[in-house]
Structure 1
Amino acid sequence: MSDTLLQRRALAGGGWLLLAFVAGGILVWGANRTGLMPGVETDTGPIATTAPARKVLYYRNPMGQADTSPVPKKDEMGMDYIPVYADEAAAPAAMPGQRKVLYYRNPMGQPDISPVPKQDEMGMDYIPVYADDADPARVTLSPQRIQLLGVTTAPATAEPLWLKVRANGRFAVDERRQVTVTAKYAGWVEKLPVNTTGQTVTAGQTLLETYSPELIAAQQEYLIARDNQGRLPLQTAPAGGRRMTLTEGALQRLRFLDVPERVVQQLAQRGTVLRTLPLAAPLSGIVLQKSVMQGMRFNAGDPLYTLADLSRIWLLAEVYEQDLAAVRVGQSVAVQVNAYPGEAFTGQVAFVYPTLNANTRTVPVRIELDNPALRLKPEMFATVTLQVALETPALPSVPESALIDSGRRQLVLVAQGAGRFAPREVVVAGRGETARGERRVQIRAGLLPDEQVVTRANFLLDSESNLRAALGALQPAASAAQHGGQ
């Protein structure tokens, strides 16, 4: 082929290339003039486009972290945040019977929501919040999660409840059945029949025999007065009436010195002075204390014995001040003693002391018990249980574990079916126990009979409910902030 022919073909190829380049420029210019290529500027400025602009709701973290921004920004690595458009966030229309999703919240409880499904930095799916959850504090759980948390429920029932007051105490001697034996004269102990502490004595039994010059003089005075009674004239009393004879006066002195009547009769029959006279027990009981010894001299008024009748005994129980309103005189109480496990004794409230112990914040309550076999000993410890029926047995009650008491308000979690649980504020009327021994709380207002309440894992659900309520309050504010940035 000749050089002339090659030159002609090269010129023809270049012509076709030039023609294609010119045609492409014309197409670009025409598209700019007709608005087919938005964002391309001409020498006269940007050309208006007819296609509507996509609305940006917010910008999300390019690495999938739980972080959004209402305006464009970059992360710490310099990567641009990804825009989320309104047409992308629009959820498809719910089919009949399907629940409408309002938004998705962070699975770890962080204050972060998303209008579209997403995952947190750990790969956990965000939890949907549905429109039919009208109560922002309501919690909805799947059956698997209910089983995992161990959630249990129980109905609110109206049944009689008793308030049980428990207190500790110790046994003490009945002060009205305790005496101190003394003599009204001075003397010496000649014989000591009752010579041990703890010995049982009966009323009138001789405790000791004493020699006393005062008693001998009183006996001699009586015998002299009796022998000379017929020789001495009996004058009329100044105020009228009969005057006491010397013999009667001597007998009265012996009786005032607590000489037993049988000894007085023996003196009258024998007509001779008795060297020693007995000192008798004034009551039947136990010798709690003995202060005399054989041959000891004593003075008038010295304590010789302390006797106590333990057939009836006191129990001094320390009742806390918050339980004091339930204690009434005459109430029956159950008493348990460590010395006799499994055996119950019955007593009665006899007296509530008017003073309070500032250190223990307790008030002594006196309980009286029969103790015929003397099994209950003074200073033994005992546990007291006092049972009082609550005044309003018709009110519904729930197990004590169902009540959430924050100090400022009291709540229960009501099961609404289909895995839904909602908190409800209630007014507590009182606390007590059933006949089965179950501790329950009476509800005065806020709960109806037969409503199911959560009795286990309720603190976890309450935390979840508080989080839901907080997120419900934050969601409108977050939406307003996102829309305000546009």
Structure 2
Amino acid sequence: MSRSAWLAGTLVALAAGGTGYWAGREGGPVPALVERARVEFAHWMPARRSAPAAPATAKPTGPVVYYQDPDGKPIYAPEPMKTADGRDFHAVHASEDVHFDADESETEMPADMPPLASASAPAGPRRVLYYRNPMGLPDTSPVPKKDPMGMDYLPVYEGEDTDTGVVRISPGKIQRTGVRSDAAERRVLSAPVRAPGSIEEDERRISVISMRTDAFIEKVENVTTGDHVRKGQPLLRLFSPEINAAAAQYLTGIGYEGARRRLENLGMPAELIDEIERTRKVPATLTWSSPRDGVVVERNISDGMRAKSGDVLFRIVDHSRVWVLVDVPERDLAIVAEGQRATVRPRSFPGRVFTGTVARIYPHLAMGTRTARLRIELPNPNGELRPAMYAEVEIATGNDEPVVTVPDDAVLDTGARQAVLLDRGEGRFEPREVKVGRRGDGYVEIREGIAAGDRVVTSANFLIDAESNLKAALQGMATAASTAETSALAEEKPR
């Protein structure tokens, strides 16, 4: 078949979309023919007018390689078949199939275009290591052979399959698989930790009013649950026989210091003791006041009731400062530290942002959720943040020092190791094991293995990794086959 006919037929196949049996096979003839036709057609057209006439086509020889549609359509079959109207497919012999051998020459090729195969051929003879399957299957042979379709196994020469760790991919395959690379850069890596949290009371701002002796409640002031009270504001009036007896003893001067200490031990406020000493009278009822500014969150008394020793009468909480308790996953605990800035976004206030710091990292993990609890302290002067509110928390980790980073997609992580594929140019890729660090903003820190400026593969790197594994498997199989052949020959030698 002439070069012009081959170019025309292949370009028709390209325009038609390359359907049929061979078009769907990776590494089959049609993709290779289309790529070669695209290159040669550009060189062939300018020299077409001055090219001599093509010689007559020789009689086909060799075995039948495949069968083609009788109308020349890009439809192929491995076995004889017929068209829809009953015509036989045309048998294509080995001599009619297109070969990219170095000695291939046709009159229609311009003289200034070197053969594609010879452009990369070595200058001198090379030793053949083994022969690999032409369809890319993991099958090798120490001697030349053909596959079931009659296609020759491809030789692998010494130097093409060295143990350098470099993977070579053809430019056509790189384009088809969409391989892309990017340079490693030094950048400030922001890796915020995000976790849900809830607003709670500050434990240090809670006051409980209870009696240390039995007493009778004479009167409860107009204070209810939810009211805001001030320090020193009256809450209740009570009568306690034991407190009155201690106060009378205090006034008589008998055991003055001991009597005052007894009043303090009974929980009497210091201002009441000073008032008794100033007036020299023991009041029938005593007035109890609020020990701090805050909100009454619990009231358990009523007028006339008896309060036993230890009963909680009031619980008052100061909400001017609150806590945010956050449960951080165990994997993020190593990058969180006390003193880091935290941003809190309560769900009750969309768009509102409150800023605080990590004040405490609790020492124990929750066994059920494998999380660690953090405490963030926030000012709450207006009382807008209420206990039990949910919030989204973001903790700023890391520092402002730039580090070597690559995109997340560049790292091949098997669990036991992490690696990247260095782009050496001209279709050469080298796997390189690396040590990774922090992640954030779609990038990962590379602590060891590559430097800033090295180009790494960021897209389709798993395909190159698979190619590398296949190459290693083929080499191992070839070595095993060669060893087995050597052993067999040694056994055949007469002893």
CA distance in 2, matches of 1:154, 1:326: 27
Bigger Cα Rg: 1
2:226 aligned partner:
198
Looking at structure 1, the residues matched to 276 and 483 of structure 2 have their Cα atoms a distance apart, in angstroms, of 116
Is 1:282 equivalent to 2:286 in the alignment? no
Deviation, 1:409, is: 2.6
Question: Deviation of residue 133 (structure 1)?
Answer: 7.0
Contact 1:188 1:210 in 2 (8 A): yes
1:373 matched residue in structure 2: 382
Cα 1:358/1:62, change in 2 over 3 Å: farther
3-state SS, counterpart of residue 426 of structure 1: strand
Alignment match of 2:453 (pick from 419, 433, 450): 450
1:459 Cα deviation after fit: 1.5
Which residue in the other structure is 1:428 paired with? 435
Aligned to 1:332: 341
Distance 1:111 1:205, change over 3 A: farther
Amino acid aligned to 1:377? R
User: Deviation per CA, 1:356-382, whole angstroms, max 9, x where unpaired?
Assistant: 333322332333222222233333333
Which residue type is aligned with residue 459 of structure 1?
F
How far off its partner does 1:157 sit?
1.2
- Work out the CA distance in 2 between the residues paired with 1:376 and 1:148: 57
Matches within 5 A, 1:398-437: 398-418=406-426, 420-433=427-440, 437=441
Question: For the structure 1 residues 415 and 248, does the alpha-carbon distance in structure 2 shift closer, same or farther, using more than 3 Å as the test?
Answer: closer
SS at match of 1:379: coil
1:147/1:372 CA distance change after superposition, 3 Å: farther
Contact 2:144/2:152 (8 A) holds in 1: no
2:171 alignment partner in structure 1: 142
Give the TM-score of the pair, scaled to structure 1.
0.64
Instruction: Give the Å deviation of 1:271.
Output: 5.7
1:112 positional shift: 5.5
Q: Distance in 2 between matches of 1:136 and 1:327?
A: 39
How many Å separate the matches in 1 of 2:291 and 2:210? 10
The offset of 1:207, in angstroms, is 1.9
Query: How far apart in 2 are the matches of 1:357 and 1:194?
Result: 43
Contact 2:142 2:478 in 1 (8 A): no
Which of the pair has the greater relative contact order for Cα pairs under 8 Å at 6+ separation?
1
Aligned to 1:441: 445
Higher mean alpha-carbon deviation, 467-476 vs 102-111, is at 102-111
> How far apart, in 1, do the equivalents of 2:398 and 2:180 lie?
28
Structure 1 counterpart of 2:474, one-letter code: L
Q: Residues 136 and 468 of structure 1 are in contact (CA less than 8 Å); yes or no, is this contact kept in structure 2?
A: no
Tell me the percent identity. 35
Alpha-carbon distance in 1 for matches of 2:277, 2:243: 15
> How far 1:117 moved relative to its partner?
12
Instruction: Give the CA deviation at 1:405.
Output: 1.2
The CA RMSD over aligned residues, in Å, is: 4.6
Q: 1:247 to 1:104 in 2, by over 3 A?
A: closer
Query: 365-374 or 201-210, which moves further after superposition?
Result: 365-374
SS at match of 2:397: strand
- Contact 1:137/1:469 (8 A) holds in 2: no
Note if contact 1:207-1:280 (Cα within 8 Å) is conserved in structure 2.
yes
Q: How many residues align?
A: 382
How far apart are residue 100 of structure 1 and its match? 3.0
Structure 2 equivalent of residue 469 of structure 1: 472
Question: What residue number does 1:360 align with?
Answer: 369
Taking the aligned partners of 1:127 and 1:306, their CA distance within structure 2 comes to: 88
Cα distance change on mapping 1:157 and 1:116 into 2, 3 Å: farther
Q: Aligned in 2, Cα 1:421/1:288: closer, same or farther, shift over 3 Å?
A: farther
Is the contact between residue 335 and residue 398 of structure 2 (CA under 8 Å) also seen in structure 1? no
Q: What is the letter of the counterpart of residue 369 of structure 2?
A: T
1:99 equivalent to 2:108? Answer no
In the superposition, relative to structure 1, how do residues 480 and 377 fare at CA in structure 2: closer, same or farther (>3 Å)? same
Q: C-alpha offsets along residues 331-361 of structure 1, whole Å, 9 cap, x if unaligned?
A: 3333333333443333323333332333322
Provide Cα deviations, 1:276-324, integer angstroms capped at 9, x if missing partner.
2211122222223222233321112212122222222223333333333
Q: Return the TM-score normalized by structure 2.
A: 0.63
Q: Report the 3-state secondary structure (helix = DSSP H, G, I; strand = E; otherwise coil) of the residue aligned with 1:377.
A: coil
